[in-house]
Structure 1
Amino acid sequence: MLALAILFVLVYSVGLGNFYRVIIYASPAGLISAVMIYSLSWILRTVRLDSLVKNVGANVETWELFKLYISGNALNVILPAKLGDAAVIFYLKMRGIGIGMSTAIAVQCRILDVLALLILSLPSAILLFREKIPEWISLMLVGSLIIAALPLGVVILSKTGNLPHLMNKKFTFLNKKKNVSLFMEKARDAYFEYIKLASIKRLFAISLILSLFIWLLEILTCYANSLALGAQVPVLAVVLGVSLANMGKVAPATPGSIGIYESILAAVLALFGVPMELAVPIAILDHAIKNSFTLALGVPATTNQGLDLCELAKRSQAQEY
């Protein structure tokens, strides 16, 4: 409901009639180009996941990896709290990968995304803002830097031996509680598996390069959407806008960060001379195309994995209350 409320406010702020006119005159060829560009990003996502999975010695077909990955992302669009990421971990476990390593792979993909977005957004922000970067943008960049720095800190601490000692330590008061003790055991396992995964320099470099191309394609998709609407948008503004909008997905306040993504992207575009009457339709169209593509392929993939979407939705609503 919050997502719909935010979208309504955005559309209302520019006028429903104006929003409709901008969308209805979108170039079909431009929209098809945007979809094709976005589809390429999913090929690279699958290649990245495949490289991580093969590194642990698992033999999972590339098509299966694509289905489980896009299924998890489709669930993120439908369900709150990034439950789709938990589904990806579950899917990988079903393919014979341990829960610890499955968690490590899912976490590494998210960390790589944040790193790639930072690499793209920081130079853009410096070039676009000659004097002072707006405080809200600075806060988003700093927050993402902290998130990206966490794995580096974990790897460094693992070299000292202090953190592994802490993870191995048995707390008597926790052992008395079976559920907590089990959780701590799984967390410890995921930690050591992540250390193994993140310490492979060549794998990290390849995965990061793939992540950069993934997000460049996402940015190009947004730019293609803006051209389809007849808008001339500064390229660097699109780079910064898409990067910040996706950083806003780290802690989603709505399923798929719908409403949040559009608000951030539209705000950034407006900062660089794009009228809100165009910035809002561009942002909403961009996210709608990406989510529609993900749902169109992800929902069938989810049912193919043997999961009931209605049951998952009921459980997520029960958890909210």
Structure 2
Amino acid sequence: MLKKISTIIVSTIIAGAIIAFLLSRVWEELLITAKEADPRYLLVALLICLLAWCLRGARYRYILNRLSVVVGFVFSTACIFVSQTANLIIPARLGDLIRLLILKHEKKTTYTLGFSSVITERVFDILTIALIGAIALPFVVGQEPWFSMLIGFVLLLGFIFFIILIYSGRFSSDNQILAKVIEILSQIRCVSQTPRALIYLILSSVIIWIIDCIVCMMVAMMFGEPVSFMVVVLAIVIGNLVKAVPITPGGIGTYELALALTFELAGVSAGTAVLIAIIDHLIKNLVTLVGGAVSIYYFGDWTVSLLKRAFSGDIKKEIYDRN
């Protein structure tokens, strides 16, 4: 238990240290820039962010329905809200496992099926991010070479994953772990095997992430910063690819650092770049927390104990033991 708590404390300290470092570099400039902000764009950004969450809920509902789990739009959206809220306080993205338990409790699904639904969502998210990043790269001046390498590496991994996915149906195994992997791949294939399903998942994912970029664009406009949309797209892409490495809970700190660096390389002043990065992530996290609180009320009190088990790290062992 002490080891689990220390892991959370260390990751939280890292997140706080990164934010403190960013703020200390530009504190005076940051205060001047903040005073000149137009708060009207903040409200627009919040509403657009909420729209993105609605689309995420609709996409997750589609994924579950393809896996023969019939749920409503509110249920699917609430599932994501609770798990993402947990990810804001729990390192290593263990909050994603909460969805498995919600589906098990409410819809009597297997943990394997729940895991397949989460993996499907994550694969399309990461590949979509890398794809729109690759499109934005040629339009952005002053980028780092490692941006291209990172995006290219993710696309390569995605290509390899889909090759494995296509041919995985030909294999079987008596090994328990390999059999579960093959089962998960089979379920993911079931979600995306038809052209219509593939088109829906790709288009919905692209729209979700374009809207996510528009939220950041609104934040930039709030400070009167003339940033091109392609720069914003690239910043969001790099920020989310860096955030995908679970160093801190919810990517807090690492996300802001990646965004600020990208904006600065594109010519945005350091103070404004830091403010855009922090407020963009703050908006998205606040919407997540409010949505999470409402979703916990929607599911009932039992989800509170679920979050406590997730925080203590017991969920991972619980799923493994029962699966």
Amino acid at match of 2:210: L
Tell me what 1:174 maps to: none
Equivalent position to 2:253, from 240, 243, 259: 259
More displaced, 92-101 or 281-290?
A: 92-101
1:155 aligns with 2:165: yes
Change in 2 beyond 3 A, CA 1:100/1:201: farther
Tell me what 2:174 maps to: 170
More displaced, 231-240 or 141-150?
A: 141-150
Tell me what 1:19 maps to: 30
Task: Give the C-alpha shift of residue 45 in structure 1.
Answer: 0.5
Amino acid at match of 2:34: I
After TM superposition, list the pairs within 5 Å mapping 1:223-302 onto structure 2: 223-302=217-296
Equivalent position to 1:140, from 142, 150, 157: 150
For the aligned residues, what is the CA RMSD? 2.3
Aligned-partner Cα distance in 2 for 1:290–1:24? 22
Runs of 4+ off more than 4 Å: none
More displaced, 284-293 or 20-29?
A: 20-29
Return the TM-score normalized by structure 2: 0.86
Tell me what 1:176 maps to: none
Equivalent position to 1:197, from 191, 198, 222: 191
- Provide structure 2 residue ranges, at least 5 long, that are not aligned to the other structure: 1-12, 318-323
On the 8 A contact 2:143/2:265 being kept in 1, the answer is no
> Deviations along 1:210-267, whole A, 9 cap, x unmatched?
0100001100000001111222212110011111111112222101111111111111
Please state whether the residue corresponding to 1:81 is helix, strand or coil: helix
Tell me what 2:84 maps to: 73
Change in 2 beyond 3 A, CA 1:24/1:252: farther
Aligned-partner Cα distance in 2 for 1:127–1:39? 28
Equivalent position to 1:37, from 35, 40, 48: 48
Aligned-partner Cα distance in 2 for 1:149–1:90? 30
Aligned-partner Cα distance in 2 for 1:83–1:300? 21
Please state whether the residue corresponding to 1:82 is helix, strand or coil: helix
On the 8 A contact 2:78/2:292 being kept in 1, the answer is yes
1:107 aligns with 2:101: no
1:219 aligns with 2:219: no
Tell me what 1:186 maps to: 180
Change in 2 beyond 3 A, CA 1:106/1:54: same
On the 8 A contact 1:154/1:195 being kept in 2, the answer is no
Change in 2 beyond 3 A, CA 1:56/1:311: closer
Equivalent position to 2:134, from 110, 122, 144: 122
Tell me what 1:57 maps to: 68
Change in 2 beyond 3 A, CA 1:310/1:104: closer
Identity of aligned residues (%): 24
1:314 aligns with 2:312: yes
> Deviations along 1:143-169, whole A, 9 cap, x unmatched?
31133224312223236x2xx2xxx32
Amino acid at match of 2:126: V
Task: Give the C-alpha shift of residue 311 in structure 1.
Answer: 4.4
Q: How many residues align?
A: 300
On the 8 A contact 2:66/2:190 being kept in 1, the answer is no
Aligned-partner Cα distance in 1 for 2:187–2:309? 31
> Deviations along 1:70-104, whole A, 9 cap, x unmatched?
11111111111111211122222332333222211
Change in 2 beyond 3 A, CA 1:208/1:226: same
On the 8 A contact 1:158/1:195 being kept in 2, the answer is no
Tell me what 1:93 maps to: 104
More displaced, 110-119 or 33-42?
A: 110-119
Aligned-partner Cα distance in 1 for 2:160–2:295? 32
Amino acid at match of 2:56: R
Amino acid at match of 2:122: R
Task: Give the C-alpha shift of residue 310 in structure 1.
Answer: 4.1
Amino acid at match of 1:290: K
- Provide structure 1 residue ranges, at least 5 long, that are not aligned to the other structure: 172-180
Change in 2 beyond 3 A, CA 1:232/1:133: closer
